[in-house]
Amino acid sequence: MSGLEAFSAAVNIVSLIDISVKVFKRINEFRNDSIALPKALRPVKKELPVFIETLRLTKRARNAHQIEDNSWHALQPLIEECFEQINTVNDLVEKALPKQSDSGIIKSWKGLVSFRYDDEIKEAISVVRELQQTLTHQGVAAARNKSTLPPEPSRPSLVNLPYPRDEDFVERAALAEIISQTHRPDPISRLALVGTGGVGKSQIAIEYAYQTRKKSPDTWVFWVHAGSTTKLEEGYRAIARAVGLEDWEQKETDIFRAVYDWLSNERNGSWIMILDNADDLNVFTAPAPHRNTLAREEPLSESTGPQIRSFLPSSPTGSILITSRVKDVAFELTGSWKYLELDVMNEGEATQLLKRRLRGTHNEDEMLELVKILDCMPLAISQAAAYIGRLSPRVTVVSYSQMAKENITKLLEENAYEARRDPERSNSIVATLQISLQYVRQNEPSAARLLSLICLFDRQWIPDCLLEGKYGEQWEENKDQMTQSKVPDTSWWKRRKRRKRKVKKVEKQTPKRDFTQDWAVLNSFSFIKTNHTGDSFSMHRLIQLTIKRWNDSNGESMYWIERFILIVAKHYPEPGPQNWNYCEVLFPNAVQIEAYRPSNKEVRAYRAALMYRLAEHASSMRNGAMAERLSKNALDEVKIATGGMETALTLRYAELYGRTLRAVDKYDEAEPLCRNILELRTKILGPLHADTITSMGSLAAVLERRGKREESRAMYKQFAEANKATSGGDFMWTFGHHDRIAACLRREDYPGAEDILRDVYDVGKRTHGAWDDYAIMVTGTLAVVLKMQERYPEAEVLYRQLLTEKERVASRVDPVASSNLAEMLKRRGKNEEAEHLYRRAFQYYTDTDDVESEGALEAMADLGEMLAMRGAFDEAEDLSRHVLEKRRDTSDREIHRDPWVAHHTLAVILDRRRQFEEALEHYKAAYEGFVQVGGENYVDTRAYFKDLVEMKEKITSVSN
């Protein structure tokens, strides 16, 4: 008898048992009715229980190999005929038996006409008796008592894993950790692998299954899909079948209890169970299906009993690996928060995966750029590789990268085939993430609102102060500020049309949600990551883009964009030394408004004002390109709001735009703008208004840079006269002074710059008295001018004042002021105090986790130089090489002094070690760098040139 025939026969007898049980159940349920069971069906009720038991005993005997193949094959025609007859009886039962919903007349009528089915039922009973007699009298049913060898026990195998092994799998640290915890002598009982959709949880679990099977052939490996109660039960039945449990295919079998008992029995050996896609806790908290037997003559039912999760065994010989998107589910199933959190791949792993998926030869740099665009998300990388492979050679890695930059969400919505994913789940990373979004939206609407807001921020650092209390339905900054945009209801069913019904109106209030509760939901689904202090968050780029797309598809984008703008506009302060740190923290999030175009006029006005403040801060950070872009956008927005240029507000925005154009050397564009501003301010505000005077100074500076010397001098004269006329002979600080000082510094006219600064400095002392933004700005500029003239004692006094006042205002260490003072002390030979201040500055950057910022690298370079001066060469070398490594690929490295300081420090160290040739290269780099930074006459440039010459002479003398 072939394997296929044996399987077919087994299916036939199982089907016969199922249909027989169904008929008996239907007849047995009728006993509660007031009308007697029709006479034709009474023999069926009497015969079926014995027949069903005989069939079950026969099946068990066959499974135990106690029935020979020839005998079993001979029974098949009779089994098939019996199956047809029982099916006929089932149809007649439906016709003859009244239903509970039938009227009394119908019930009586069915009882009267049931006699017409007597012949058909008698024929069916005859076939049933014939099969039963055959099974009994020919010794088939009695074969269970036959003395035979016991069946060979099932051998451990890989059970129910529907996916082939991935030849392109890239090893990840999580896999090694899982193996170490489950393959040790005392294996962990339960372990969860948690991460958002698409990070590769199931792929790691599949590889883990195959590796376990290879390393431990005596270990059972069971794969159970945990996406629903039905799939979970199917997985348990597959286990029961594989290990040889009786009646595994019977619906009446308490399969969860049977498998639990087998797994809990240590004599059955070692095993691993993988619960894949355990995302819904309701699957495990549902009562386990428990079905009653026929012997009790009760209907089959689902009884409320133990939860399904109580049938996840804890055994010293077994381990359960759980993959889930939800941290809370992982905790509930393992009883521990010590789960393995799987993040996206690192760049090396991601590039390796793309390379393996693509096949062929591809440029490493091009692949690296693509995986960065895809945020190193494994499923997104597989999608991209499938897309490129399908459309190659018309689509390449480079062209796909370009398309992804333009519209990544559209590309990643494609459902590319993936052999090792659940076929019921989309292979699109966008669709995969939307499954979790849909769940949160339906079950945690308050958390969904938080998610809709948080996705609009910068994805790297989102402070909680911009979120807490800002996303609820009752939130308002000010009713006059709020947009008229209306957010749609958060559940689709609230929007569907319904028939009107007269019902009693009940006031229902939505319970208030705590921010921490909503945060916990987003954190559990791995939508966000939280810093170690718990007050700021980050988000993967693809998750952010998917949520934005989700908002758009639900018609909510504009509502949340306008709310975001109002929130940031309220919290972003006026730029200035006292607010600099706060501005720096909020800047990356606030600048996101560039990408959002609100439709509400009032919100657009707030957006323009915010962009103005952002442009001012960008300018103070010396980010000229960004300041120019922001100020232009702000000006364009306010011109639309005010109807043109001829308002004081618009001209103030235009003045800022003009300053940013000058900062990026766009004087040809700045000149007509500055002329227009001066003309309009003179007309609207008058020739002696402070803003008009500022415009004079700005235009004078632009004319000077454009080589229009005569006109520039005339404008400076006009500026000075107007300034004196409005201040009673005293100078008043304006951006005109700023431009004049800048012009002096460009000409290296330090005395001229000092004269202007002294005038302003003295007026400031008389006018303002206390230290404020004005005094700090002027003092800092004057200190720089004194330093450039090598008047270090005077500069030291001012730098000490600056350090004291800036730290008093900010209430924290000021690393820039510390470094500036340290430089003066170094030049004056006060090396010990200078080193202390450099270390203090560097420690600040370390404490704030900002060790790769511009200021941190400068502090490192200067500290390295100080250490080399006192002979601490090893530490000095480490710091200097770190600076050079970080600056190696920086496009604007020539404007920074720290790489050239680092080169000089290394040159000194190599010189002391008598590695003259290498030292010469570093001396040369340091000198050439400082020529670019400070010019040939700068004090450090001259010193480095001297060292370079001496090094060349030393090499010459050694050679001779």
Residue 737 has a pLDDT of: 59
φ and ψ of 222, to 5 deg: -110, 130
Residue 723 has pLDDT above 70, yes or no: yes
Residue 462 pairs in a beta bridge with 537
Lowest mean pLDDT among 98-107, 127-136, 277-286, 945-954: 98-107
Residue 33 has a pLDDT of: 47
Comparing 581 with 461, the larger pLDDT belongs to: 461
pLDDT digits (tens, 9 = 90+) for 25-65: 777 766 544 556 666 667 777 777 777 777 777 777 766 66
Residue 506 has a pLDDT of: 35
Comparing 958 with 682, the larger pLDDT belongs to: 682
CB-CB neighbours of 479 under 10 Å: 6
Closest of 50, 48, 17, 68 to residue 249, by C-alpha: 17
- pLDDT above 70 covers a percentage of the chain that reads 80
**Do 420 and 410 meet the contact criterion of CB atoms below 8 Å apart?**
no
**Do 823 and 862 meet the contact criterion of CB atoms below 8 Å apart?**
yes
Determine the average pLDDT of the residues in 221-241: 92
CA distances in angstroms from 170 to 76, 166, 202, 364, listed in the order given = 51, 9, 13, 17
Can you tell me the distance from the alpha carbon of 357 to that of 167, in angstroms, rounded to the nearest whole number?
10
CB-CB neighbours of 121 under 10 Å: 23
Residue 192 has a pLDDT of: 94
Rounded to the nearest integer, the mean pLDDT of the chain is 80
- pLDDT above 90 covers a percentage of the chain that reads 24
Q: Name the token pair of 915.
A: 């590695």
Determine the average pLDDT of the residues in 282-302: 60
Residue 109 has pLDDT above 80, yes or no: no
Characterize the bridge pairing of strands 340-341 and 190-194.
parallel
The C-alpha angle 460, 462, 464, rounded to 5 degrees, equals 155
- 3-class DSSP assignment, residue 159: strand
pLDDT digits (tens, 9 = 90+) for 829-852: 899 999 999 999 888 888 877 777
Residue 185 has pLDDT above 60, yes or no: yes
Comparing 738 with 907, the larger pLDDT belongs to: 907
Comparing 785 with 854, the larger pLDDT belongs to: 785
CA 29, distance to chain mean position in Å, is 55
Which fold, 158-290+308-341? Rossmann fold (3.40.50)
Residue 139 has a pLDDT of: 52
Can you tell me the distance from the alpha carbon of 682 to that of 677, in angstroms, rounded to the nearest whole number?
8
Lowest mean pLDDT among 279-288, 664-673, 740-749: 740-749
DSSP for 701-732, please give it.
HHHHHTT-HHHHHHHHHHHHHHHHHHHTTS--
CA distances in angstroms from 266 to 156, 258, 262, 527, 840, listed in the order given = 14, 15, 8, 40, 62
* N- to C-terminal Cα separation, the chain: 100
CATH architecture of residue range(s) 828-959: Alpha Horseshoe (1.25)
Residue 186 has pLDDT above 60, yes or no: yes
Q: Name the token pair of 464.
A: 């909680």
Residue 585 has a pLDDT of: 82
CA distances in angstroms from 249 to 235, 371, 418, listed in the order given = 12, 47, 31
Lowest mean pLDDT among 410-419, 535-544, 950-959: 410-419
pLDDT digits (tens, 9 = 90+) for 428-457: 777 778 888 888 888 889 999 999 999 999
Can you tell me the distance from the alpha carbon of 906 to that of 921, in angstroms, rounded to the nearest whole number?
10
Residue 726 has a pLDDT of: 75
Residue 621 banded pLDDT, cuts 50, 70, 90: confident
**Do 278 and 312 meet the contact criterion of CB atoms below 8 Å apart?**
no
**Which of the given ranges, 274-288, 717-731, 765-779, has the highest pLDDT on average?**
274-288
**Do 413 and 428 meet the contact criterion of CB atoms below 8 Å apart?**
yes
Residue 508 has pLDDT above 50, yes or no: no
Enumerate residues 6+ apart whose C-beta is below 8 A from 47: 125, 128, 129
Domain spans of the chain, in order of start: 3-145, 158-290+308-341, 572-648, 828-959
Q: Name the token pair of 682.
A: 């003179």
Amino acid type, 290: H
Residue 30 has a pLDDT of: 64
Residue 526 has pLDDT above 80, yes or no: yes
Q: DSSP H helical segments within 554-689, as ranges?
A: 557-571, 580-590, 601-620, 624-642, 648-663, 667-684
pLDDT digits (tens, 9 = 90+) for 884-904: 888 775 544 456 788 888 899
**Do 204 and 324 meet the contact criterion of CB atoms below 8 Å apart?**
no
Can you tell me the distance from the alpha carbon of 419 to that of 296, in angstroms, rounded to the nearest whole number?
47
Residue 518 has pLDDT above 50, yes or no: yes
